[in-house]
Structures are given as C-alpha cells and as structure tokens.
C-alpha cells in the first residue's frame, strides 16, 4: 500500500505535464493508499498467504515505507501533513532494496527541487553524502573495489552492489 502511495506520487510528477488526467488519477490513488496505510499502520500481510513459488518477501518494519511515501507525497503536493511523517535522522540503513525503501525517499528529496522541500533537500543531500562516502571507503578496502564488504555478499549481491553504486553515482 505504501509502495503504491510512493510510486503514485512519483507518477503524478512524471506525467502532470504530459497527461494531466492520468497524472491526477495517479495522485488520487497515491493519497488514498496513504490514507489507508495511516488508518491501518500495523496491517501486514502474514507469511504463507502469498507465495507464487519464488519465496516470500516479508517485511515487518514499515517505518521506511512510510518515510518513502511521505517524501514522495510531500514533494508532489506540498501538503504539510506529509512532511510531518518525514524524519531523515531516523533512517539508519545505508542500503535500499525491496525491504528497505527509506533511501528512495531521501534520493527524491535530494534531487527534486521544490520551494517547500528546500530545507529537506540540504539534509537529504548531506545524508546521501555520508552514505556514499561510507560505501567508497568500503570499496577502497575490497580487492574488486565493490562497495560492500565480505559480510554483505548474499544471494542477490549484484543488486545490492548496483543499488549502492547508484547512491555513489548520484552523489558524485
């Protein structure tokens, strides 16, 4: 639900000058999804309910999804009640992926200029700079210059590396 809110808000920004009717529908869906999530903040799909054979992708911590959706909705609408749910200092992950989405909102706040997000933009850029510096420091200690250390090589490590490199590329 929160991913729909976040991506719907992005969709609005991407299409508002191309197809205003579609863009407005995207924003309406995003805001409805946000409202549903706010009414049911602890409603999580239990494991075992949805498994198409490739395994489930459980996530019981939704704070990062709320942050991402709030950031995208605030950027798109300027409505203060979304800004009230943004706390960049509470995000501790130095990665982003399907389970940790908080940095997606930080990247949008750092790169999408609006008058109402100017203060958050500086904070988001500083946070991303720290993460990029951390990842560059790690890569300088690795034989293949990867931005992940030996404990972070997992199934899907290429995706982890690509995501870390996207943050580094965005900052530098």
- What averages of pLDDT result for each successive group of 10 residues across the chain (172 residues)? 97 98 98 97 75 68 94 98 95 88 96 95 96 96 93 88 96 96
The pLDDT, as a whole number, for residue 167 is 96
DSSP letters along 96-158, please? -SSS--HHHHHHHHHHS--GGGHHHHHHHHHHHHHHHHHHHHHHTTSTT--SS-GGG--TTHH
Q: Which pLDDT value is given to residue 52? A: 65
Q: What does pTM read for this prediction?
A: 0.92
Q: Are 45 and 1 in contact (CB under 8 A)?
A: no
Torsion sign, CA atoms 81, 63, 98, 56: negative
């Amino acid at each position: 639900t929160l991913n729909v809110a976040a991506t719907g808000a992005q969709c609005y920004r991407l299409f508002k000058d191309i197809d205003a009717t579609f863009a407005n529908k995207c924003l309406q869906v995003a805001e409805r999804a946000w409202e549903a999530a706010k009414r049911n903040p602890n409603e999580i799909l239990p494991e075992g309910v949805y498994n198409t054979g490739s395994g489930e992708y459980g996530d019981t911590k939704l704070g990062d999804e709320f942050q991402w959706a709030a950031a995208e909705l605030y950027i798109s609408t300027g409505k203060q009640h979304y800004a009230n749910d943004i706390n960049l200092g509470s995000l501790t992950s130095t990665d982003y992926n399907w389970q940790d989405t908080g940095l997606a909102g930080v990247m949008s706040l750092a790169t999408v200029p609006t008058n109402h997000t100017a203060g958050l933009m500086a904070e988001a850029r500083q946070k991303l700079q720290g993460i990029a510096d951390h990842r560059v420091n790690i890569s300088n200690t690795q034989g293949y210059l990867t931005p992940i250390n030996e404990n972070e090589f997992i199934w899907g490590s290429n995706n982890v590396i690509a995501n870390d490199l996207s943050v580094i590329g965005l900052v530098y």
